[in-house]
Structure 1
């Protein structure tokens, strides 16, 4: 698809005040103690299917002059993997938002799609003049559709499909990033060859979901964050990652409904936030939202009554990162909070999710 001739300049400084976002209003008591599997229905029918997501992206591509839609590869089952791009100036700093490496972690995708829609509004000015934005809203489409080569009979969600962490070959895509690209699962190979190696990316937020019972200081978290932790990451890349985390942390914590902990994640280069930082010098941030869209473990899946605040949290995360990069304020972000940010602990029975 050819780059469009006319660039629509927009700003996200008042994105969260836009009327359309009111559809994801925050339910009373949602922060931390939001509904779990035991007291909220787990539904998949209310989520975008792969096909409805593609229709949504193509509709926005037709409406937005600044947006370009690119297919970067195919899944195991042959579904196209889409990248939404806003590149006004190749010399601008560039941020990539990646969702659904794990197919059962879809509310980040719902937030990313809402974010894409608002990038096409004329409410304010000029952010896209100063930052390039790239969004992969569903890397693992086969897992998201439950179109896999193994049984999902023990999964919990009601609706027309199950969603699973793994791709169709029952592989965790977020453990593939240390391999030679020729040996990677096709979804991750497409990400590396046609995104990481093709574009000069400065920042990436890798959006995931975790279980429902993680806490700090006795309070359940709405999400958790972590910078790359591999020893081979360059100091300046790590510092950029910590600054990105500071921007997101400050945006979420000031909402009054968000509560963020430090994720207890691994240091292996095979994990996306570490692999991208080591191989491509991208400053990366992991963001783990509370609760999954489907799972076979009851404490992992969160009832649909919490969907609103989790989608809103995603939008806040993307919005704050984009604005800070565009206006340069990320460069002065105070990273000292990382020294005192409590590491979340899981209540009994929960395993690592990243």
Structure 2
């Protein structure tokens, strides 16, 4: 099993819990300032996995305002990137003159060397993330400054790979030895490097073609709102946006997949998320498939296995088993 530490605010008196949490976060990341509507009895838990120079963690906490101020940066800067995958809840981050809203399935990348403020919503937030030294990312300082902090998608491409790696790792640490930790840390640093580099290249491509940027966003939103429709085709999409099918394919030429492949991937990702949802555990897989535009269960099963390397039924069982073991570990602690 990988080496890990667990922190719970319930381990200290109620009046000390928020300050205890801020202190622990400061020790495992960087000094921050925290306030909360629940300061009188703040509830939070955090697991930290030791992967050598990299650490992976899972945290659940009540409403918070977290600030990394210029004064705190001057006092102590460990020069870390902080990558968070939002699993539940929502929040907003402000840095300099920028603001981004984070919801479930979003990736949030911040920098201990840059002042920022995060405000979470009223509901508890659950986050899986990692901390990685800036020196482990082979990016120039100019690239790094442009890259973080920012919001990145985790439902496609490299973001999806990183999100799946993090969630699988945190769900089941028993399959790994402590000596695996540094090797897993290197893999994670490579994925973060690839994600940031890809995002920068995509931004450059978008800036070079403003008209493409204007067109591609509403087209993708149109697709995402109609994934349930099995008759959604490139021709339907092109007709709805008053362009030719050829023009639609040219717009997607610089994307990670063709139009049809992008639709299929979004449908599979939506179905995969439903398969991991405990509230939908009793919902038949064929119903989940139909909900996301796969009227034939056999077609869905083949596509799912080709994409994720495992049949949807086995994937659901694996996720449920991992969740059960994780819950059991928490109860033991």
Provide TM-score, normalisation by structure 2: 0.29
Whose Rg is larger? 2
Provide TM-score, normalisation by structure 1: 0.28
Which structure has greater strand proportion?
Answer: 2
- Higher RCO, 1 vs 2 (CA within 8 Å, ≥6 residues apart): 1
